[in-house]
Amino acid sequence: MRLVTAVTPEGPRLHVLGSDGYVDVAQATGDERLSDLTTVLEGGAQALGAVRNASEQNGRELSEAEYGPAVPAPARVLCFGVNYVEHALEGGRPPTTWPEVFVRGAGSVAAPYGDLIKPALSDRFDYEGELALVVGKGGRYIRAEDAIDALVGYTVLMDGSAREWQRAASQWTPGKNFDATMPIGPAVVTTDEIDVSDLQLTTTLNGDVMQSARTSQMIFNIPATIEYLSSFTTLEPGDVIATGTPGGVGFARQPPVWLTPGDLLEIEIEGLGKLANRVVAEETDVDGWPWVPPQAQKVGF
> What does the DSSP assignment read for the chain?
-EEEEEEETTEEEEEEE-SBSEEEHHHHHT-GGGGSHHHHHHTHHHHHHHHHHHTTSB-B---GGGB--SSSS-S-EEEEES-BHHHHHHTTSPPPSS-EEEEE-GGGEE-SSSEEEE-TT-S-EE--EEEEEEESS-BSS--GGGGGGGEEEEEEEE--EEHHHHSSSS--GGGG--TT-EEEEEEEEETTT---TT-EEEEEETTEEEEEEEGGGBSS-HHHHHHHHHHHS-B-TT-EEE----S--GGGSSS-----TT-EEEEEETTTEEEEEEEEE-----TT-S------S----
> Is the predicted pLDDT of residue 53 greater than 60, yes or no?
yes
CATH 3.90.850.10 region(s) of the chain? 77-281
User: pLDDT tens, 31-42?
Assistant: 999 999 999 999
Confidence label for 291 from pLDDT (cuts 50, 70 and 90): very high
Task: Quote the pLDDT of residue 301.
Answer: 53
More confident residue, 86 or 271: 271
> Is the predicted pLDDT of residue 297 greater than 50, yes or no?
no
Q: What is the mean pLDDT of residues 199-209?
A: 98
> Is the predicted pLDDT of residue 299 greater than 70, yes or no?
no
* pTM over cut 0.85: yes
Which of the residue ranges 15-19, 23-27, 82-86, 182-186 would you say has the lowest mean pLDDT? 82-86
Q: What is the mean pLDDT of residues 105-112?
A: 97
Task: Quote the pLDDT of residue 119.
Answer: 98
Superfamily designation of domain 77-281: Fumarylacetoacetase-like, C-terminal domain (3.90.850.10)
User: pLDDT tens, 210-255?
Assistant: 999 999 999 999 999 999 999 999 999 999 999 999 999 999 999 9
